[in-house]
Amino acid sequence: MTGQVGVVGAGAWGTALAQALASDGSEVLLWAREPDLVREINTERRNRPYLPSATLAPTIHATQDLGELANLAVLLIVVPAQFLASVIAQLPAGTRDLVLCAKGIEAGSGRLMAEVAADADSKARLAVLSGPTFAHEVAAGLPTAVTLACSGGQAQWDRLAPLIARPALRPYYSDDVVGAEVGGAVKNVLAIACGVVEGMNLGQNARAAVIARGYAEMLRFGLARGARGETLAGLCGLGDLVLTCSSTSSRNFSLGLALGQGLTAVEALTGKSSVAEGAATAPVLAQLAAREGVAMPIVEGVCRLLSGESPASAVVADILSRPLKAELEADRKTSGPAA
């Protein structure tokens, strides 16, 4: 391999990123867990389980051996959030840039992905790539803009941006890693809520309200965790929220759609090859919000649905019956009538 960038994880998003990076003829090493998938990518140029619409570039080489990544300067980590720690711990030793592309919060620990990665590899230079990205559009070469949040500041950006940017894939600089991570994690849960609205046929007005009030929850939680408001108003926050709350191309929206149509979470998730990260994120996000004293009633409602505690109609009724209040509430604490 003569390329400098590898992609760890051959799901839909990882494969799409590999395709984008290979669009200028660059060689890209793509790690996949499944041997059959490695064989299919290398011999047929296809990834039928996760990205069936794409014919993959000839310069993408798939491998099941993490050791082959040892000499690469930059790795995009695109495994599901709940497996991030175990995969990073298996990477060959070395000092490199790890660009985290999973959106979620680790169940049990409540850690954001950068915290997980730092604990798993203390030598890694961490960045977060996040934004409004449907994998099939990125793989097709359609224009996409993302946030690239660099823990190493401008120097890391100067190193990474030329390796990641392509004519149809445009990164924007930030040094607000927390903001990029909070936006990506919270929007997954809010997308489930918007799917519920669609599944219950509550209309476009209701979905717009959930997006706006959900963004208020995202902003309150992000500020409490040290994120900057302007980050959450950008691509990795509001931009990603609008995209994933409006299309069945979003796995989280599709999960909410099924819940709104009366399926249980177990029924809606059974047999799915791809991961709806919001299902794992919602309970831990609600716990963290309670600990921070941040009101997140939409997130709490999603948790009730996922646990089977309440039907969708009861959750919606409870949210609509909350006390009337000013739209811009200065007090973010749960003791007040926030959200």
Q: Which of the residues are catalytic?
A: 187
Spell out the residues 6+ positions from residue 286 whose beta carbon is closer than 8 angstroms to its own.
296, 299, 300, 303
Q: With beta carbons less than 8 A apart as the criterion, state whether 220 and 338 touch.
A: yes
Instruction: Annotate 293-324 with DSSP letters as a single string.
Output: TB--HHHHHHHHHHHTSS-HHHHHHHHHTSPP
State how far the Cα of 286 lies from the Cα of 302, in Å rounded to an integer: 10
CB atoms within 10 A of CB 168: 15
CA distances (Å), 339 to each of 203, 231, 300, in order?
Answer: 20, 20, 12
β-pair partners for 61: 29
State how far the Cα of 133 lies from the Cα of 103, in Å rounded to an integer: 12
